[in-house]
Amino acid sequence: VKRNPGEKEFIQAVDEVLESLGPVITRHPEMLEASIIERICEPERQIIFRVPWVDDTGKVQINRGFRVEFNSALGPYKGGLRFHPSVYLGIIKFLGFEQIFKNSLTGMPIGGGKGGSDFNPAGRSDGEVMRFCQSFMTELYRHIGEYTDVPAGDIGVGGREIGYLFGQYKRITNRYESGVLTGKGLTWGGSLVRTEATGYGTVMFTQDMLASRNDGLEGKTVSVSGSGNVAIYATELAQRLGANVVTASDSSGFVHDPKGIDLEMLKQIKNVERGRISTYVERRGGSAKFVPAGKGSIWEIPADVALPCATQNELHGRDAKALLGNGVIAVAEGANMPTTGEATRLFQDGDVLFAPGKAANAGGVATSALEMQQNASRDSWTFDYTYDRLREIMRGIHDTCAENAEEYGLAGNYVAGANISGFIKVADAMLAQGVI
């Protein structure tokens, strides 16, 4: 806390990981001797920079850019860029720290990093977003590369932004280095399934947790928060597997649609029109209801399965109590750290299957690594092949978490299983690579 003043999300993320590691350290005293814990909590490098750009009225705007290169024991730094007004160093460090263990869990050769800016793309024109992205990349380019650090999207950074960032990287470096960014468009080095991967992966993990209790998603009522990339594709796969998804949200409020979310309508409003969630209810009519932010919680809607897919700390203790009161059986984090520590403990004490984000939402970065593989071999795979690889990776993550939790006497605890599995691999690599 003293070393990282004011970085509350980072401290929360570190606490949650370290809480699980006692049994590992007891079994491996060599990790303690080599100060692995202290080293893993300190980023290898953090870059903070000015991002000046000119808005449509001709006014000069200044934002702050970040890239935290956290750990490269397993491969080049890898992790998304977030553009959101709430971004500051503590958010980027929490995301970068989580990313180390998530990337390790995927089994792919990627280290952990994260970046972004306090730039708010909401309400900005395409031209403004482009000029911002070009200015951002004009500093970032010198720190990234296929073998160094490979950014991708996150909140506020989708296909449009990755396009502008890639274009500027290519222009400055005079290199068509496809592997420098992931989440690219399909005609210029992107991978099929990348767009869907995080949301799909979260639902696959949920399927595997339910299967461990001989259950499935068919006929289940599911509540999903958010209406961005992760939420939309979590909804899509859950519906395809026979679940009834009854909610969606954004920062202005949530909708409850008991007949089931009309996904085509939601995609049109959010992805094409970049509109607000209340438009969904205006257009859908019937029994669909809009509840403005602050007037009620999305988690009060009865559901068998809850998938928080919006942002950090969006599901609190009182929300967990509401879900438990309505008989929830599984919760999987599509977003990063959406559930507070208190809510997580309530779910675990209530015998709810609970999947932490670093395991449940790892499908996105895993498919980014598949995109890097395709770029390296100048190849592009079919949708079905890539989907099957994702399915296999998610099953692998589920089984590794379950096995390690059991191995360390914490059977059924996916939080401990994910932290332990992710940590051991990184710690072993750090030990092998010496004091660096």
Write out the catalytic residue numbers.
114
CA-based Rg of the chain, rounded to a whole angstrom?
21
Which of 20, 117, 227, 404 is close enough to bind ligand NDP by CB under 6 A?
Answer: 227
Residue nearest to ligand NDP (CB): 228
Which of 154, 161, 177, 257 is close enough to bind ligand NDP by CB under 6 A?
Answer: 154
Q: How far apart, in whole angstroms, are the C-alpha atoms of residue 95 and residue 77?
A: 13
% helix, strand, coil for the chain, step of 5: 50, 15, 35
Q: Is 326 annotated as a binding residue?
A: no
Residue 11 binds to ligand NDP (criterion: CB under 6 A) = no
Q: Mark residues 339-368: x for contact with ligand NDP by CB under 6 A, - for none.
A: ----------------------x--x----
- Closest approach of Cβ 203 to ligand NDP, in Å? 13
Judged by CB under 6 A, the stretch of 58-66, 323-331, 332-340, 383-391 that binds ligand NDP is 332-340
Closest CA to 263 of 241, 293, 284: 284
Residues 235-294 that bind ligand NDP (CB under 6 A): 250-252
Q: Is 214 annotated as a binding residue?
A: no
Q: How far apart, in whole angstroms, are the C-alpha atoms of residue 235 and residue 223?
A: 9
Which of 31, 129, 230, 320 is close enough to bind ligand NDP by CB under 6 A?
Answer: 230
Residues 81-110 that bind ligand NDP (CB under 6 A): none
Burial environment of residue 259 by CB neighbours within 10 A (0 to 12, 13 to 18, 19 or more): exposed
Q: Is 99 annotated as a binding residue?
A: yes
Q: Is 8 annotated as a binding residue?
A: no
Judged by CB under 6 A, the stretch of 54-62, 324-332, 333-341, 409-417 that binds ligand NDP is 333-341
Q: Is 220 annotated as a binding residue?
A: no
Q: How far apart, in whole angstroms, are the C-alpha atoms of residue 104 and residue 426?
A: 7
Residue 11 has phi, psi (to 5 degrees) of: -65, -40
Judged by CB under 6 A, the stretch of 319-327, 329-337, 390-398, 402-410 that binds ligand NDP is 329-337
Asked whether the beta carbons of 301 and 222 are under 8 A apart, the reply is no
Judged by CB under 6 A, the stretch of 19-27, 126-134, 221-229, 422-430 that binds ligand NDP is 221-229
Residues 305-324 that bind ligand NDP (CB under 6 A): 309-311
Query: 168 vs 229, which CB is nearer to ligand NDP?
Result: 229
Residue 228 binds to ligand NDP (criterion: CB under 6 A) = yes
What is the arrangement of strands in the sheet containing 247-250, beginning at the earlier edge strand? 247-250, 253-256, 289-292
Q: How far apart, in whole angstroms, are the C-alpha atoms of residue 123 and residue 185?
A: 23
Q: How far apart, in whole angstroms, are the C-alpha atoms of residue 148 and residue 223?
A: 39
Cα distances from 156 to residues 47, 177, 429, in angstroms, run 20, 23, 33
Closest CA to 293 of 256, 338, 254, 255: 254
Annotated binding site: 78, 99, 102, 153, 198, 229, 368
Annotated binding-site residues for NAD(+) read 198, 229
Binding site for substrate: which residues? 78, 99, 102, 153, 368
Contact footprint for ligand NDP (CB under 6 A): 153-156, 198, 226-231, 250-252, 309-311, 334-336, 361, 364
